[in-house]
Amino acid sequence: MLSETKLSLLQQLAQNASKEEIIWTKGYLSGFLDRVELLGGITENNTIPSVTVKPLIVYGTETGNSKKVASNLLAAFKKNKIQAKAIDVFQYDVAKLEKESLVLFVMSTQGEGEFPQNAIPFYEKLKASNANFSKVSFAVLGLGDSSYPLFSNAGILLDEVLEEKGAKRLLPLVKADVDFAETVSIWESDLQKAFQNIDSNVTNEVKPTSSIVSSGKKNYLGKISHKVVLNDKGSDKETYHIEIESDDEISYEPGDALGVFPKNKEAEIQAIATYFEEEDYSILADKNVRGLSKKSLEAFSKLFEIEIIEEKANLLDIIQKHQPKKVKLEEVIALLLPIAPRLYSISSSSEAHEGQVHLTVNLNKFNVDDEIKTGLTSEFLADFPLEEQLEFYIHKNQNFRLPNEETDIIMIGPGTGIAPFRSFLAERDVTGAEGKNWLFFGEQHFVLDFYYQTEIQEWLTTGVLTKLDTAFSRDQERKIYVQDRIREKAKEFNSWLENGASIYICGQKNPMSQDVEQAIVEVISKERNISESDAKQVLEELENQGKYQKDVY
């Protein structure tokens, strides 16, 4: 029997239908019934059978992607009446793990295949643990970027150590690329099937439809058509505005980044090969010999039987300083990683700068034993000849996107963090977006280091840029930073937030982004007369809603 509501709807349809439509409907329903009988009947309300498992989702993140995935999983599970919980790995005690029955890990990979900073203690304690994890079922989703040599390596290491400790793998490891939405959707579906099997005591393994979904990256060949230093003479900085053109149509959106494949300097790798009495230095061409991490230096310390105290150093500098014993070059190469691409936030808009993609690149300089050294990729771009072919790709960043055109935005981008906000403003200018725009920019000196000053002043004049607050730290005795300007404008800053504005931060992760976030928490706490703990929850909720986004490095 039909319910009164369904019967009423059917009667309304029948009354307004023609004879031909009724005949067609009769045939359709008859065919539908045949198909249902063939498939074994209709499941009432098409609902997924309820399950009793209570998974714990543990996520490790630095940029927020893993947290976002965990939050979305939690929401999907609750929708299907699955009682799940989610927790940051930093807040989770390894000692509790052996008491869990089902744990889902969402783990990002950083740097040279490393764990997020706040996940390292968990992993180290897990490796050292002698607990019995035989009652724990687990599944690992590793987030990463397939352009890098150690793709999703943190997820791989976590998956391996859990198995070594006796935990039972619910699903095989899944590695997700930068465009992870489809992979996560498939993983969620596979998990729900696996949950059904647990409840039904079914032991058949549920295999993911795909462990890696292609990110669809396309490598472009282009040329640098224009390059200029944005700093004036006398500045301590050397920051380049670079314009790239390609015969191919370059598809990107504001917020995306450009990936560059740098090359080693020939003289540098030749010197390394020569020291180890090897003539063919080409075998070092694609190996990273610059800015070796502490982990890599520890490995070379053992190989060379010397003490290396540097936290970060170039291989050639280590050789010249310590004159280590002569080993085979193959042994050296075995400890070197392939050169990883370097990502730079795009500072142009495809709508406003048709056929071009722009970068804002600071030449990375650092001091080693009173000698100035430079970063591999920034030097590679700074020295790259005009009109020669450059290989690159577009890195999609779905977690750093402009909101709808009516939404106000607050952009906080000191130094080269200005890059995506030049893209945002150019896009909003050319599209006529109605939302208000507030920019916080900082550098060392107003006269020497005010990047894109002419454009910014023009946007202020035309009203595209509603408000501008600058912080030039070295122009007065007391250093002033963007976070100080935020505190100074606390009342208006909070008012924008309460009226629905979105916040964006771009630039150095440590300490800039942390200092800025603390300033925002203090502003919310003060202006709303709530505790800082509650203010942090407000900011966290904004982040969950996609109204607080960070692109930090």
pLDDT band at 373 (very low <50, low <70, confident <90, very high): confident
**Distant-in-sequence contacts of 379-388, Cβ < 8 A, 24+ apart:** 380/260, 380/262, 380/263, 381/224, 381/240, 381/242, 381/260, 381/262, 382/238, 382/240, 384/224, 384/227, 385/224, 386/223, 386/224, 386/225, 386/226, 386/227, 387/223, 387/224, 387/225, 388/223, 388/224
Residue 164 shares a structural domain with residue 130: yes
Residues with Cβ < 8 Å from 19, sequence gap 6 or more? Answer: none
Residue 224 shares a structural domain with residue 373: yes
Q: With 50 as the cut, is the pLDDT of residue 440 above it?
A: yes
Task: Please return the burial class of 238, using the count of CB atoms within 10 Å of its CB with bins 0-12, 13-18 and 19+.
Answer: middle
Of 198, 233, 250, the last residue of a domain is 198
pLDDT band at 284 (very low <50, low <70, confident <90, very high): very high
pLDDT band at 310 (very low <50, low <70, confident <90, very high): confident
Q: With 80 as the cut, is the pLDDT of residue 442 above it?
A: yes
Residue 345 shares a structural domain with residue 331: no
Any domain includes 14: no
Query: 437-443 and 409-412: which strand pairing?
Result: parallel
pLDDT band at 331 (very low <50, low <70, confident <90, very high): very high
Residue 284 shares a structural domain with residue 318: yes
Cis peptide before 511 (omega within 30 of 0): yes
Q: With 70 as the cut, is the pLDDT of residue 39 above it?
A: no
Cα–Cα distance for residue pair 394/253, rounded to 1 Å: 10
Query: 102-108 and 137-143: which strand pairing?
Result: parallel
Any domain includes 12: no
Q: With 50 as the cut, is the pLDDT of residue 75 above it?
A: yes
pLDDT band at 35 (very low <50, low <70, confident <90, very high): very low
pLDDT of 206: 47
Cα–Cα distance for residue pair 120/139, rounded to 1 Å: 19
Of 83, 81, 85, 84, nearest to 49 by C-alpha is 81
Task: With beta carbons less than 8 A apart as the criterion, state whether 501 and 468 touch.
Answer: no
CATH number at residue 224: 2.40.30.10
Residue 385 shares a structural domain with residue 416: no
CATH number at residue 415: 3.40.50.80
Out of 79-93, 101-115, 169-183, 185-199, pick the least confident: 185-199
Report the amino acid identity of residue 105.
F
What's the structural domain count of the chain? 4
Any domain includes 27: no
pTM beyond 0.75: the answer is yes
Residue 317 shares a structural domain with residue 448: no
Any domain includes 545: yes
Average pLDDT rounded to a whole number, residues 378-401: 94
For residue 345, give its domain range. Answer: 219-259+341-395
Average pLDDT rounded to a whole number, residues 86-93: 94
Q: Which phi and psi angles does 413 have, rounded to 5°?
A: -145, 80
Average pLDDT rounded to a whole number, residues 229-254: 96
Residue 357 shares a structural domain with residue 501: no
pLDDT of 448: 98
State both tokens at 100.
Answer: 């869990």
Residue 152 shares a structural domain with residue 191: yes
Any domain includes 7: no
Of 395, 420, 435, the last residue of a domain is 395
pLDDT of 110: 87
Residue 167 shares a structural domain with residue 236: no
End-to-end CA distance of the chain: 62
Any domain includes 4: no
Task: Please return the burial class of 131, using the count of CB atoms within 10 Å of its CB with bins 0-12, 13-18 and 19+.
Answer: middle
DSSP symbols for 332-397: HHHTPPBPPPEEEEB-S-TTTSTTEEEEEEE--EEEETTEEEE-HHHHHHHHPPTTSEEEEEEE--
Residue 330 shares a structural domain with residue 240: no
pLDDT of 329: 95
pLDDT band at 212 (very low <50, low <70, confident <90, very high): low
Any domain includes 169: yes
Residue 483 shares a structural domain with residue 391: no
Any domain includes 536: yes
Q: Which residues pair with 470 in a beta bridge?
A: 441
Average pLDDT rounded to a whole number, residues 193-207: 64
Residue 316 shares a structural domain with residue 428: no
Of 335, 352, 372, the last residue of a domain is 335
- Other CB atoms within a 10 A radius of the CB of residue 452 amount to 20
CATH number at residue 134: 3.40.50.360
Q: With 90 as the cut, is the pLDDT of residue 408 above it?
A: yes
